[in-house]
């Protein structure tokens, strides 16, 4: 059975614990004329404070939600400070794997 990753899980790790997450997706994301199945997520719902507050309440209440979520990410793991950051909506149901990046 495939493991499911909720929006709240991603939010708690990225925002709550300030972790960068390596996320492998079933469907590639187009970036600058290339397609990437692996992205490095830095933030969840970075421009939607209301959505972030909703995630915090869900975490506090033990609720998990699945589906689309906006993420801030980059595609060059070796030098994220030099790489471009992008915004995209990903679907948590399309996530194959999540790993913490140090």
Q: For the chain, which residues make up each domain, given as ranges?
A: 7-101
pLDDT digits (tens, 9 = 90+) for 52-74: 999 999 999 999 999 999 999 99
* DSSP, res 85: P
H runs (alpha helix) in the chain: 7-11, 49-61
pLDDT digits (tens, 9 = 90+) for 9-18: 999 999 888 8
Q: What is the pTM of this model?
A: 0.86
How many Cα atoms are found within 13 Å in the side-chain-facing hemisphere of 56? 10
β-pair type (68-74, 95-101): unpaired
């Amino acid at each position: 059975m495939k493991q499911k990753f909720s929006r709240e899980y991603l939010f708690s790790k990225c925002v709550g614990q300030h972790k960068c997450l390596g996320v492998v997706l079933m469907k590639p994301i187009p970036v600058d004329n290339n397609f990437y199945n692996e992205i490095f997520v830095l933030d969840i719902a970075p421009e939607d404070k209301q959505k972030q507050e909703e995630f915090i309440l869900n975490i506090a209440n033990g609720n998990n939600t699945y589906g689309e979520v906006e993420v801030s990410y980059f595609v060059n793991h070796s030098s994220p400070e030099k790489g471009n950051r992008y915004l995209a909506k990903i679907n948590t149901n399309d996530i194959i794997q999540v790993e913490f990046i140090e």
